[in-house]
Chains A and B, each alone.
Chain A
Amino acid sequence: MNSDIACMSVSYKKNMKNFKEDFIMKLLGKKLLTNVLAVLLVLTILTACATEDTTTDTNTDASDSNSQTNESSSEESTDTSNDETKGGKILFLSSNSSGAVYDFNIAFLDMWTAELGYTYEIVYGDGSNDPAGNLQAVKNAMTNDVVGLIAMQDGGISNILDEYPDLYVAGLATDMGSVYGPEGASASATTNDKFLGTVAGGYASGVDIGKMYFDDVVQKGYKKVAVAMFPGFAYPQYTIADQTFRAEVEEYNKTADEPIEVTGEEGTVLMFRPMDESFFNEPENQDLDAIVGLCAGQQFIYPALVSAIGNGLADPDTKLLTAGFQSDQALIDDVGTGIVQTLYLPNYEEIFFPLAMLDNAIQGKQYPDFEQSEVLDGVYITISSDEIMTNIEENSPIPNADMSKLSVTLEKGKQFLRRYNSDATYAELKEFMLSDAFSEKAYE
C-alpha cells in the first residue's frame, strides 16, 4: 500500500514537473516570439526609413501643386544652369513643428530645393533656444552632404559655425539678437564669412516697432490703451518698443487736444502664457479702447479678451492691435472687423532671403557687393480690414501654403540667384526684400 502511494506520489511529481516544464517552455516560447517580433518591427521601420528618400514624396506633392510654375521655369533653368552646379543637403533649424508658418516653410523648401537640386532636412531647434540644445540638434542631423543651414533660432549660432567651419548659415524670421545685440553670446558670428545674415520677422528695431503701433493707435483714435508683451529678456526689442511707444505718446500728448492714456508704468509681461483674465480686474485696465500686443496676440491675448468681454469684465468695444497669425477660421474672420483691428504679420515668403544667400554661397557665386552679414528688416503684411484679410485668404499662400499663390515665384526669385543671373547684386536683393512684393499689396 505504502509502496503504491509512494509510486503515485513519484508519478504525480513527475507529471507536475513535465507539466511545469511544458508550461514554462510555452511561456518562454511566447515571450521569445514576442521579443523577436518586436525586434523585427523595429528593424523593418529602420530599414524602410533608410531606403526612403525623405524629400522625394514631399517634393512630388509640391511639384504637383505647382506644376504650372515649375513647368514655366524648367526651360529657363535648363538653359541657364551649368554643369558645375553643386547639390547637397540644407538643414532647416525650425523653431516650430506645426502651424501655418511650418507648413509654408516645408512647401517652399520642397519647391525650391527641388528646383535648385538640393535636398533638405528639418531639424527641430531647442524649444527654448538654448545654445547647447541647438548645437546638438544640428550635430545629430549632420551628414557629410550637408552644405548649408537656415536657422530660425539664434542660440548657439557661433558654436555651430565653430563646429562646422565650412557650413554656410543664414537666419530666418529672427533678428539674431545674440549675434547683433550688445554683448551677444554669438557676436563672433558677425565677422564669420560663412554667416550670411538674417531677415527679421518684421522690424528688427524695437524703436520702429514702437512707432508703428503708436501711429496705428493715433490713426484709429484710441484714447486709453494698455500694452502687453513677451518678456524683455527673451525679446529685448519689445522692451524698447514699449518704451518707444510710451515716449511717442508722451510727446503726442504735449500738443494733443485729447491726450492718450497708456496704463501702467510698463507693459504687462506675459511669461509665454496666455494673458490671465484677472488683467481686466485691475482698475487701470477698465474701459480700455485697445490693447497693444507686443507678442503673438491672437494666441496670447485674444482668448482672454474675448472671455473678459463675455463676462462683462472688459468693455465690449476693446480692440486688439497685435502681431502673428493663427489660421483658425474664427480668428481669420475676426481680423479687421472684430476684436483684432490690426494684425501685423511677418511675410513667410521672406524665407527666400536665406535660400538666396545660401545658394549663391554654395555655388561659389556670392554677390560682388556683399561684404558682411547684417540683419534685414522683414516687411509686415498689415491686415487692418476685412478686404485685406480676404485678399490674404484668397490670393496668398499664407493660410494654406499654396505655392501657386506665391508672390516670390520661381521666375521672380531666380533673378536674384547668381547661377541664373550673373548680374544680380546684394543691393538689389535687399531692395527686393523690403519691397511690396512682401507686403499685403502683393496679394491684392
Chain B
Amino acid sequence: MDKGENMENIKVNDSSNFKEFWYNNKVTIISYSGLLFCIILFTIVTPLTGQSIWSPEKLSTLMSDVIVTALMSVGAVFIYSLGNIDISIGKQIGLYSTILVLTGNATGSLLPGILLCILLSIVIAVINGASGPVFKIISIIPSVVVMQILSGIIMIIYSDLGTRSISLKTIDYSFFKSPIVMVVVLVIEIIIAVYFFNFTAIGKYTRAIGANKTTAMQSGISIVKYRIYAYIIAGMGFVLAALFQMGYTGSASDSTGTGYHMNVMIAIILGGMPVSGGMRSRISAAVVGAFTFSILDVGLPLIGLPTRMTFIVKASIFLIVVLLTSRKKYGALPK
C-alpha cells in the first residue's frame, strides 16, 4: 500500500468518523443549535428595538415562563422514556396548586399541602403506571381517565367555593418568585433526575422498556415495577412544578394547569427527544426544549413581533425542528 492510498484511507476514516458522529448526535446538535440560535438572534436583534433579552427584568420573565414547564418536563422524561404519554399532567398541577392554597390558608403553612400532594402524586403514579400493563390497555388510557377524574374534582371544589380562583391569605409566597430560587431548584432537580436517569437501574430500565418492552421483559426487568418508579419520580417533578405554579401568583384557579401536558410534549420534542422513548431519551432534552420555547415567548415580542404572530412563528420553528430531528430515515412519519 503506497502513501497515497494511506492518505485516502485516513480521509475516508475521518469522513466516516464525522458521519458516525453526526448520525449519533444529529438530534442533540440540532436541538442545542436551535436554542443557541434563539439566544444569538435575540441578543443581536433586541437592542435594535431598544430592548434587551439580557435585562434583569426579562431574565426574570424568562425564568418565570420556563420554570413550571422545565420542572414538569424533567420529571416527564421518565414517562416519555418508557414510550408513554401522560395526559393528566396539567390537571395534576391544577389539583396540587389548589390543594396547596386551600391547606395553606387552613393551616398557615405550605408543608401539609406539600405532603398531601406528594401522597396524591404517588397514588396517581401507581394508577397511571400500573394499570396499563396490568389491565393490558394502552398506557395513555389510564392518564385520560385520571385527567377526567381530576377535572371533576377540581370543578366540584371551585363550584363549592363559588369562585374561579383562590389565593393565599397569610402565607408570603414571594420566595417562589425569586429567579435565583427558580434556577437553584431547577438545577437541583436536573442533577437528581440525571443521577436517577443515567446512573441507577430505574433510568436504565425505563429506557430499556421504552426501547423494546418485550426484550426488557425477557431480560428480567419488571415492567410494572419500573413503570411505577418512573411515574413516581415524574410525580415528584409535578408537585415541585405545582409549588412554583401556585407560588407565581399565590393563587390557583379552576383552569390552572390546563393544556400543560401539551407544553411538556412540545418541550420534550423540541429538545430532540423521541416521543417513542427508548435509549435516546435524555434529561437535557426537557431543559433545552423548555428554554427554547420560553425564550421565543419572551424574545419575539421584544423584537416587535405582534403577540398574535408569535404563535405562528413558534409553530413554524417547532415544525422545522421536528422535521429535522424526528423524521424517520425512510418515510415522513415521526418516530
Contacts and interface: CB of A to CB of B under 8 A. Distances in A.
Nearest to B253: A130
Given A140-B65, A185-B165, A49 B303 contact: yes
B45 A47 contact: yes
Interface string A27-58: 00000000100110111011101111010000
A338 interface: no
B165 A143 contact: no
B188 interface: no
B167 interface: yes
Nearest to A14: B8
A127 B258 contact: yes
A142 B61 contact: yes
B316 A185 contact: no
Contact of A50 (B37, B45, B61, B159): B45
A122 interface: yes
B306 A122 contact: yes
Contacts of B49: 50, 143
B165 A131 contact: yes
Interface string B17-58: 001000000000000000001000100010011110000010
B189 interface: no
B42 to A, nearest CB: 9
A343 B305 CA distance: 38
A57 to B, nearest CB: 11
A53 to B, nearest CB: 8
Contact of A49 (B163, B254, B305): B305
Q: Please indicate which of the listed interface residues A47, A130, A155, A236 has the most CB atoms of chain B within 10 Å of its own CB.
A: A130
A327 interface: no
B23 to A, nearest CB: 11
A264 interface: no
Interface in A86-108: 97
B45 A128 contact: no
B333 interface: no
Interface string A115-135: 000000111101111111101
A132 B249 contact: yes
Interface string A166-207: 000000000001100101111000000000000000000000
B272 to A, nearest CB: 15
A136 interface: yes
B249 A131 contact: yes
Contacts of B250: 159
B215 to A, nearest CB: 31
Interface in B307-326: 307-309, 313, 316-317, 320, 324
Contacts of A178: 163-165
A38 B313 CA distance: 12
B64 A139 contact: yes
A139 B177 CA distance: 13
B184 interface: no
Given A121-B306, A178-B165, A233-B164, A128 B64 contact: no
B245 interface: yes
Given A47-B45, A49-B309, A130-B256, 18 more contacts: A24-B19, A35-B324, A42-B317, A121-B301, A129-B164, A130-B255, A130-B258, A131-B167, A132-B248, A139-B61, A140-B307, A144-B50, A155-B165, A155-B253, A183-B163, A184-B163, A231-B159, A232-B162
21 contacts: A43-B41, A45-B313, A47-B45, A49-B300, A50-B304, A121-B301, A121-B307, A122-B306, A126-B255, A129-B164, A132-B251, A136-B64, A136-B248, A139-B65, A140-B301, A142-B301, A185-B165, A232-B162, A233-B159, A233-B162, A239-B162
Interface of B: 12, 15, 19, 37, 41, 45, 48-51, 57, 61, 64-65, 158-159, 161-167, 245, 248-251, 253-256, 258, 297-298, 300-309, 313, 316-317, 320, 324
Q: Which 6 A-B pairs have the closest CB atoms?
A: A128-B255, A185-B167, A49-B305, A50-B303, A131-B249, A159-B249
